[in-house]
Copies of this chain bind each other. A is one copy, B any other.
Amino acid sequence: KKYSVCILENRIFFLFTVTPVGFIGLGNMGTPMAKNLLRNGYPVIATDVFPESCKELQDTGAQVVDSPADVAEKADRIITMLPSSPNVIEVYTGPNGILKKVKKGTLLIDSSTIDPAVSREMAVAAEKMGAVFMDAPVSGGVGAASMAKLTFMVGGVEEEYNAAQELLTCMGANVVYCGQVGTGQAAKICNNMLLAIGMIGTAETMNLGIRLGLDPKLLAKILNMSSGRCWSSDTYNPVPGVMEGVPSANNYQGGFGTTLMAKDLGLAQNTATNTKTPIPLGSLAHQIYRVMCSRGYANKDFSSVFQFLREEEGQ
Protein backbone atom coordinates (compact mmCIF):
# COMPACT_ATOMS: atom_id res chain seq x y z
CA LYS A 1 0.00 0.00 0.00
CA LYS A 2 1.33 3.38 -0.95
CA TYR A 3 1.29 6.15 1.66
CA SER A 4 2.33 9.72 2.41
CA VAL A 5 3.96 10.73 5.65
CA CYS A 6 2.72 13.72 7.61
CA ILE A 7 4.01 15.18 10.91
CA LEU A 8 1.35 16.82 13.04
CA GLU A 9 1.90 18.06 16.62
CA ASN A 10 5.06 15.99 16.84
CA ARG A 11 3.30 12.80 15.83
CA ILE A 12 3.95 10.95 12.60
CA PHE A 13 0.90 10.03 10.51
CA PHE A 14 1.02 7.67 7.57
CA LEU A 15 -1.63 8.63 5.06
CA PHE A 16 -2.64 5.75 2.84
CA THR A 17 -4.26 6.42 -0.47
CA VAL A 18 -6.29 3.29 -0.94
CA THR A 19 -7.83 2.93 -4.40
CA PRO A 20 -11.13 1.07 -4.45
CA VAL A 21 -11.40 -2.63 -5.26
CA GLY A 22 -14.10 -3.94 -7.57
CA PHE A 23 -16.00 -7.10 -6.63
CA ILE A 24 -18.34 -8.96 -8.97
CA GLY A 25 -20.41 -11.95 -7.81
CA LEU A 26 -22.00 -11.59 -4.40
CA GLY A 27 -23.16 -15.14 -3.71
CA ASN A 28 -22.56 -17.29 -0.62
CA MET A 29 -18.84 -17.05 -1.12
CA GLY A 30 -18.46 -13.62 -2.70
CA THR A 31 -20.31 -11.67 -0.04
CA PRO A 32 -18.14 -12.69 2.93
CA MET A 33 -15.02 -12.30 0.78
CA ALA A 34 -15.97 -8.73 -0.17
CA LYS A 35 -16.77 -7.98 3.48
CA ASN A 36 -13.25 -8.99 4.43
CA LEU A 37 -11.89 -6.49 1.92
CA LEU A 38 -14.03 -3.79 3.55
CA ARG A 39 -12.84 -4.88 6.99
CA ASN A 40 -9.25 -4.41 5.81
CA GLY A 41 -9.99 -0.82 4.83
CA TYR A 42 -10.48 -1.24 1.11
CA PRO A 43 -13.34 0.71 -0.44
CA VAL A 44 -15.38 -1.81 -2.47
CA ILE A 45 -17.35 -1.18 -5.65
CA ALA A 46 -19.59 -4.17 -6.28
CA THR A 47 -22.24 -5.64 -8.54
CA ASP A 48 -24.23 -8.82 -9.06
CA VAL A 49 -26.87 -9.93 -11.54
CA PHE A 50 -29.32 -10.33 -8.64
CA PRO A 51 -29.92 -6.85 -7.14
CA GLU A 52 -31.04 -8.37 -3.81
CA SER A 53 -27.60 -9.97 -3.44
CA CYS A 54 -26.07 -6.49 -3.39
CA LYS A 55 -28.20 -5.25 -0.47
CA GLU A 56 -26.22 -6.95 2.29
CA LEU A 57 -22.88 -5.63 1.04
CA GLN A 58 -24.28 -2.16 0.44
CA ASP A 59 -25.38 -2.06 4.08
CA THR A 60 -21.81 -2.91 5.09
CA GLY A 61 -20.46 0.06 3.22
CA ALA A 62 -19.81 -0.99 -0.36
CA GLN A 63 -20.82 1.09 -3.33
CA VAL A 64 -23.11 -0.83 -5.65
CA VAL A 65 -23.14 -0.19 -9.38
CA ASP A 66 -25.17 -1.60 -12.26
CA SER A 67 -22.84 -3.73 -14.29
CA PRO A 68 -19.34 -5.22 -14.54
CA ALA A 69 -18.52 -2.47 -17.06
CA ASP A 70 -19.42 0.14 -14.44
CA VAL A 71 -17.15 -1.57 -11.92
CA ALA A 72 -14.33 -1.52 -14.45
CA GLU A 73 -14.81 2.19 -14.99
CA LYS A 74 -14.21 2.95 -11.33
CA ALA A 75 -11.76 0.35 -10.04
CA ASP A 76 -8.36 -0.75 -11.26
CA ARG A 77 -8.30 -3.93 -9.19
CA ILE A 78 -11.28 -6.26 -9.66
CA ILE A 79 -12.11 -9.60 -8.11
CA THR A 80 -14.72 -11.92 -9.64
CA MET A 81 -16.39 -14.88 -7.89
CA LEU A 82 -18.86 -16.61 -10.18
CA PRO A 83 -20.57 -20.01 -10.42
CA SER A 84 -19.23 -21.37 -13.70
CA SER A 85 -17.44 -20.80 -17.01
CA PRO A 86 -20.36 -19.22 -18.95
CA ASN A 87 -20.85 -16.65 -16.16
CA VAL A 88 -17.17 -15.74 -16.27
CA ILE A 89 -17.26 -15.35 -20.06
CA GLU A 90 -20.34 -13.12 -19.78
CA VAL A 91 -18.95 -10.95 -16.96
CA TYR A 92 -15.65 -10.38 -18.75
CA THR A 93 -16.54 -10.32 -22.45
CA GLY A 94 -20.33 -9.75 -22.51
CA PRO A 95 -22.01 -6.54 -23.76
CA ASN A 96 -21.81 -4.97 -20.28
CA GLY A 97 -18.68 -6.85 -19.36
CA ILE A 98 -15.54 -5.71 -17.61
CA LEU A 99 -13.50 -5.58 -20.80
CA LYS A 100 -15.89 -3.08 -22.35
CA LYS A 101 -14.59 -0.31 -20.04
CA VAL A 102 -11.50 -1.75 -18.40
CA LYS A 103 -8.66 0.73 -17.77
CA LYS A 104 -5.11 -0.02 -18.90
CA GLY A 105 -3.10 -1.71 -16.20
CA THR A 106 -6.13 -3.01 -14.32
CA LEU A 107 -5.55 -6.19 -12.30
CA LEU A 108 -8.32 -8.75 -12.81
CA ILE A 109 -8.46 -11.65 -10.35
CA ASP A 110 -10.96 -14.43 -10.99
CA SER A 111 -11.66 -16.65 -7.98
CA SER A 112 -14.34 -18.75 -9.70
CA THR A 113 -13.63 -22.44 -10.24
CA ILE A 114 -13.76 -22.91 -14.00
CA ASP A 115 -12.06 -24.65 -16.88
CA PRO A 116 -8.39 -23.49 -17.08
CA ALA A 117 -8.86 -23.12 -20.85
CA VAL A 118 -11.45 -20.41 -20.20
CA SER A 119 -9.04 -18.70 -17.80
CA ARG A 120 -6.45 -18.63 -20.54
CA GLU A 121 -8.97 -17.20 -23.01
CA MET A 122 -9.89 -14.44 -20.55
CA ALA A 123 -6.22 -13.65 -20.02
CA VAL A 124 -5.70 -13.23 -23.75
CA ALA A 125 -8.77 -11.01 -24.06
CA ALA A 126 -7.68 -8.92 -21.07
CA GLU A 127 -4.17 -8.52 -22.46
CA LYS A 128 -5.61 -7.08 -25.67
CA MET A 129 -7.15 -4.33 -23.56
CA GLY A 130 -3.92 -3.75 -21.64
CA ALA A 131 -5.22 -5.40 -18.48
CA VAL A 132 -3.82 -8.36 -16.54
CA PHE A 133 -5.93 -11.40 -15.74
CA MET A 134 -5.07 -13.94 -13.01
CA ASP A 135 -6.98 -17.03 -11.90
CA ALA A 136 -7.17 -17.54 -8.15
CA PRO A 137 -9.72 -20.20 -7.25
CA VAL A 138 -10.21 -20.99 -3.56
CA SER A 139 -10.37 -24.04 -1.41
CA GLY A 140 -12.48 -23.82 1.73
CA GLY A 141 -16.22 -23.20 2.03
CA VAL A 142 -18.50 -20.46 3.31
CA GLY A 143 -17.10 -20.73 6.85
CA ALA A 144 -13.53 -20.24 5.65
CA ALA A 145 -14.66 -17.34 3.49
CA SER A 146 -16.23 -15.60 6.51
CA MET A 147 -13.18 -16.11 8.70
CA ALA A 148 -10.71 -15.12 5.98
CA LYS A 149 -9.26 -18.64 6.10
CA LEU A 150 -9.52 -19.53 2.42
CA THR A 151 -6.63 -20.96 0.43
CA PHE A 152 -6.03 -19.23 -2.90
CA MET A 153 -4.27 -21.00 -5.74
CA VAL A 154 -2.99 -18.32 -8.10
CA GLY A 155 -2.04 -18.52 -11.77
CA GLY A 156 -0.76 -15.63 -13.86
CA VAL A 157 2.28 -13.55 -14.71
CA GLU A 158 4.68 -13.65 -11.77
CA GLU A 159 5.32 -9.86 -11.73
CA GLU A 160 1.70 -9.21 -10.77
CA TYR A 161 1.60 -11.84 -8.06
CA ASN A 162 2.58 -9.46 -5.25
CA ALA A 163 -0.20 -7.07 -6.15
CA ALA A 164 -2.71 -9.92 -6.14
CA GLN A 165 -1.34 -11.33 -2.90
CA GLU A 166 -1.95 -8.01 -1.12
CA LEU A 167 -5.68 -8.35 -1.73
CA LEU A 168 -5.98 -12.11 -1.38
CA THR A 169 -4.32 -12.19 2.06
CA CYS A 170 -7.25 -10.06 3.30
CA MET A 171 -9.57 -12.92 2.43
CA GLY A 172 -7.49 -16.02 2.96
CA ALA A 173 -4.91 -17.69 5.17
CA ASN A 174 -2.86 -19.26 2.38
CA VAL A 175 -1.99 -17.83 -1.00
CA VAL A 176 0.02 -20.12 -3.27
CA TYR A 177 1.57 -19.09 -6.56
CA CYS A 178 1.13 -21.95 -9.04
CA GLY A 179 2.56 -20.66 -12.34
CA GLN A 180 1.18 -19.27 -15.58
CA VAL A 181 -2.48 -18.38 -16.11
CA GLY A 182 -4.75 -21.39 -15.60
CA THR A 183 -2.48 -23.24 -13.19
CA GLY A 184 -4.48 -21.97 -10.22
CA GLN A 185 -7.52 -23.69 -11.69
CA ALA A 186 -5.41 -26.74 -12.50
CA ALA A 187 -4.24 -27.03 -8.88
CA LYS A 188 -7.77 -26.64 -7.55
CA ILE A 189 -9.18 -29.22 -9.96
CA CYS A 190 -6.38 -31.68 -9.23
CA ASN A 191 -6.85 -31.36 -5.49
CA ASN A 192 -10.59 -31.89 -5.69
CA MET A 193 -10.28 -34.88 -7.98
CA LEU A 194 -7.91 -36.60 -5.56
CA LEU A 195 -10.20 -35.56 -2.70
CA ALA A 196 -13.20 -37.22 -4.38
CA ILE A 197 -11.22 -40.40 -5.05
CA GLY A 198 -10.01 -40.49 -1.45
CA MET A 199 -13.50 -39.89 -0.08
CA ILE A 200 -15.19 -42.61 -2.13
CA GLY A 201 -12.28 -44.94 -1.40
CA THR A 202 -12.61 -44.25 2.32
CA ALA A 203 -16.37 -44.82 2.19
CA GLU A 204 -15.95 -48.14 0.37
CA THR A 205 -13.19 -49.24 2.72
CA MET A 206 -15.01 -48.32 5.91
CA ASN A 207 -18.18 -50.04 4.66
CA LEU A 208 -16.27 -53.19 3.71
CA GLY A 209 -14.45 -53.26 7.05
CA ILE A 210 -17.68 -52.84 9.01
CA ARG A 211 -19.30 -55.68 7.10
CA LEU A 212 -16.24 -57.84 7.82
CA GLY A 213 -16.78 -57.29 11.55
CA LEU A 214 -14.47 -54.37 12.33
CA ASP A 215 -15.47 -51.54 14.65
CA PRO A 216 -15.53 -48.33 12.55
CA LYS A 217 -13.58 -46.23 15.05
CA LEU A 218 -10.92 -48.91 15.38
CA LEU A 219 -10.69 -49.30 11.60
CA ALA A 220 -10.30 -45.54 11.15
CA LYS A 221 -7.53 -45.59 13.77
CA ILE A 222 -5.71 -48.43 12.02
CA LEU A 223 -5.99 -46.77 8.59
CA ASN A 224 -4.77 -43.46 9.97
CA MET A 225 -1.59 -44.99 11.40
CA SER A 226 -1.00 -46.94 8.18
CA SER A 227 -0.59 -46.40 4.47
CA GLY A 228 -4.35 -46.12 3.88
CA ARG A 229 -4.38 -42.77 5.64
CA CYS A 230 -5.86 -39.79 3.82
CA TRP A 231 -7.64 -36.51 4.56
CA SER A 232 -11.02 -38.21 4.20
CA SER A 233 -10.09 -40.89 6.72
CA ASP A 234 -8.33 -38.74 9.32
CA THR A 235 -10.02 -35.32 9.06
CA TYR A 236 -13.44 -35.75 7.48
CA ASN A 237 -14.42 -39.36 8.06
CA PRO A 238 -17.65 -40.21 6.24
CA VAL A 239 -18.92 -42.76 8.78
CA PRO A 240 -21.35 -41.43 11.41
CA GLY A 241 -19.95 -41.91 14.89
CA VAL A 242 -16.27 -41.95 14.01
CA MET A 243 -15.56 -38.21 14.33
CA GLU A 244 -17.30 -35.16 15.74
CA GLY A 245 -17.81 -31.82 14.04
CA VAL A 246 -17.92 -33.23 10.51
CA PRO A 247 -20.94 -33.52 8.19
CA SER A 248 -21.20 -37.28 8.80
CA ALA A 249 -21.94 -36.44 12.45
CA ASN A 250 -24.78 -34.21 11.34
CA ASN A 251 -26.70 -36.29 8.78
CA TYR A 252 -24.43 -34.96 6.02
CA GLN A 253 -25.77 -31.41 6.34
CA GLY A 254 -23.49 -28.50 5.48
CA GLY A 255 -20.00 -29.09 4.15
CA PHE A 256 -19.26 -29.42 0.44
CA GLY A 257 -22.30 -30.46 -1.55
CA THR A 258 -22.40 -33.44 -3.91
CA THR A 259 -23.50 -31.15 -6.76
CA LEU A 260 -20.43 -28.95 -6.33
CA MET A 261 -18.15 -31.97 -6.25
CA ALA A 262 -19.82 -33.31 -9.39
CA LYS A 263 -19.21 -29.94 -11.05
CA ASP A 264 -15.50 -29.94 -10.16
CA LEU A 265 -15.13 -33.53 -11.35
CA GLY A 266 -16.77 -32.47 -14.61
CA LEU A 267 -14.04 -29.85 -14.98
CA ALA A 268 -11.38 -32.44 -14.20
CA GLN A 269 -12.89 -34.73 -16.81
CA ASN A 270 -12.97 -31.96 -19.41
CA THR A 271 -9.35 -30.97 -18.87
CA ALA A 272 -8.29 -34.62 -18.92
CA THR A 273 -10.20 -35.29 -22.14
CA ASN A 274 -8.75 -32.19 -23.76
CA THR A 275 -5.19 -33.10 -22.75
CA LYS A 276 -5.74 -36.81 -23.53
CA THR A 277 -4.82 -37.76 -19.96
CA PRO A 278 -6.15 -41.07 -18.66
CA ILE A 279 -7.92 -40.69 -15.29
CA PRO A 280 -9.74 -43.99 -14.72
CA LEU A 281 -10.51 -43.51 -11.00
CA GLY A 282 -11.22 -39.80 -11.47
CA SER A 283 -13.72 -40.63 -14.21
CA LEU A 284 -15.46 -43.25 -12.12
CA ALA A 285 -15.58 -40.88 -9.14
CA HIS A 286 -17.25 -38.33 -11.42
CA GLN A 287 -19.83 -40.88 -12.52
CA ILE A 288 -20.57 -41.93 -8.95
CA TYR A 289 -21.23 -38.34 -7.86
CA ARG A 290 -23.30 -37.82 -11.00
CA VAL A 291 -25.50 -40.83 -10.15
CA MET A 292 -25.78 -39.60 -6.54
CA CYS A 293 -27.03 -36.22 -7.79
CA SER A 294 -29.84 -37.97 -9.61
CA ARG A 295 -30.69 -40.25 -6.69
CA GLY A 296 -31.47 -37.63 -4.04
CA TYR A 297 -27.99 -36.77 -2.72
CA ALA A 298 -27.55 -33.50 -4.65
CA ASN A 299 -27.64 -31.25 -1.60
CA LYS A 300 -25.94 -33.49 0.94
CA ASP A 301 -22.26 -33.23 1.79
CA PHE A 302 -20.07 -35.24 -0.56
CA SER A 303 -19.12 -37.62 2.27
CA SER A 304 -22.68 -39.01 2.02
CA VAL A 305 -21.26 -41.41 -0.57
CA PHE A 306 -20.85 -43.70 2.46
CA GLN A 307 -24.63 -43.70 2.92
CA PHE A 308 -25.17 -44.15 -0.82
CA LEU A 309 -22.98 -47.26 -1.00
CA ARG A 310 -24.17 -48.83 2.22
CA GLU A 311 -26.59 -51.70 2.09
CA GLU A 312 -30.11 -50.50 2.83
CA GLU A 313 -31.74 -51.59 6.04
CA GLY A 314 -33.76 -54.75 5.66
CA GLN A 315 -32.17 -55.93 2.44
Contact = CB atoms under 8 A, between A and B. Distances in A.
A202 interface: yes
A190 B204 CA distance: 9
A80 interface: no
This protein's copies in its complex: 4
Nearest to A208: B277
A211 interface: yes
B209 A187 contact: yes
A183 to B, nearest CB: 5
A4 interface: no
A200 B279 CA distance: 9
Interface residues of A, number: 86
A220 to B, nearest CB: 10
A229 B229 CA distance: 9
A118 interface: no
A164 to B, nearest CB: 17
Contacts of A294: 276, 278, 309-312, 315
A315 B189 CA distance: 25
Contacts of A157: none
A8 interface: no
A56 interface: no
A283 B281 contact: no
Where chain A touches its partner, the secondary structure class is helix
Given A204-B279, A287-B278, A273 B270 contact: yes
Nearest to A193: B205
Most chain B CB neighbours (cut-off 10 Å) among A176, A213, A215, A268: A213
B275 A293 contact: no
A273 B115 CA distance: 13
B205 A190 contact: yes
Given A116-B212, A194-B228, A213-B183, A288 B280 contact: yes
Interface in A201-232: 201-202, 204-209, 211-215, 218-219, 222-223, 225-232
A237 interface: no
Nearest to A294: B311
Nearest to A236: B227
Given A197-B197, A279-B204, A281-B281, A227 B222 contact: no
A228 B193 CA distance: 8
A272 interface: yes
Contacts of A207: 277-279
A209 B227 contact: no
A221 B209 CA distance: 31
A227 B141 CA distance: 12
Q: Which 10 A-B pairs have the closest CB atoms?
A: A230-B230, A197-B201, A194-B228, A186-B212, A191-B228, A283-B283, A278-B290, A280-B287, A190-B209, A194-B205
